[in-house]
Amino acid sequence: MRLYPSGVSVVTANVDGNRIGVTVGSLLSLSLEPPLVGISIGRELALHELLRAAGSFGVSILRGDQADVAAHFARGVPPIALWARVDVRLGSTGVPLLERALAWLECRIVAEHAVGDHTFFVGQVVAAEEGEPGPALVYREHSYLPAGPM
């Protein structure tokens, strides 16, 4: 699967006033009516149970020049430093969204399914917004790359 490029997003949530986030390559569009997306989160991640507790999540779809942001949220940075030097704004539902992304989704968790060592969370999109146009960030063979011309 390392040969198959996947789009890169940062999934975020707000749990009792504490922001959490992780880089994912598993964002899927599931349905247009109602608007549903899916994300796969490893059960060993701290975000897993916190996401369940939050009941909702935000998605910042990263642009081609945000490889540093993807790497930052993929490293497992200690929570106290996770948000240092990261430009964030709150979405309409209160989830943190990363500035300069291509697009943002805010979702309410409507289902979850155990899948191997992950949980597949289904989110109903309650708010969506587009940013400035540009190439998307993809992950292929252990590298973050822009998809298309910059």
At the topology level, CATH places domain 6-142 in Pnp Oxidase; Chain A (2.30.110)
Is the predicted pLDDT of residue 12 greater than 90, yes or no? yes
DSSP per position, 109-129: EEEEEEETTEEEEEEEEEEEE
Give residue-wise pLDDT tens across range 80-104. 667 888 899 999 999 999 999 999 9
Question: CA 58, CA 6: separation in Å to the nearest integer?
Answer: 18
Question: CA 14, CA 21: separation in Å to the nearest integer?
Answer: 9
Question: CA 48, CA 40: separation in Å to the nearest integer?
Answer: 10
Residue 79: pLDDT band with limits 50, 70, 90: low
Give residue-wise pLDDT tens across range 26-37. 999 999 999 999
Question: CA 90, CA 75: separation in Å to the nearest integer?
Answer: 23
Give residue-wise pLDDT tens across range 113-147. 999 999 999 999 999 999 999 999 999 988 999 99
- pTM of this prediction exceeds 0.95: no
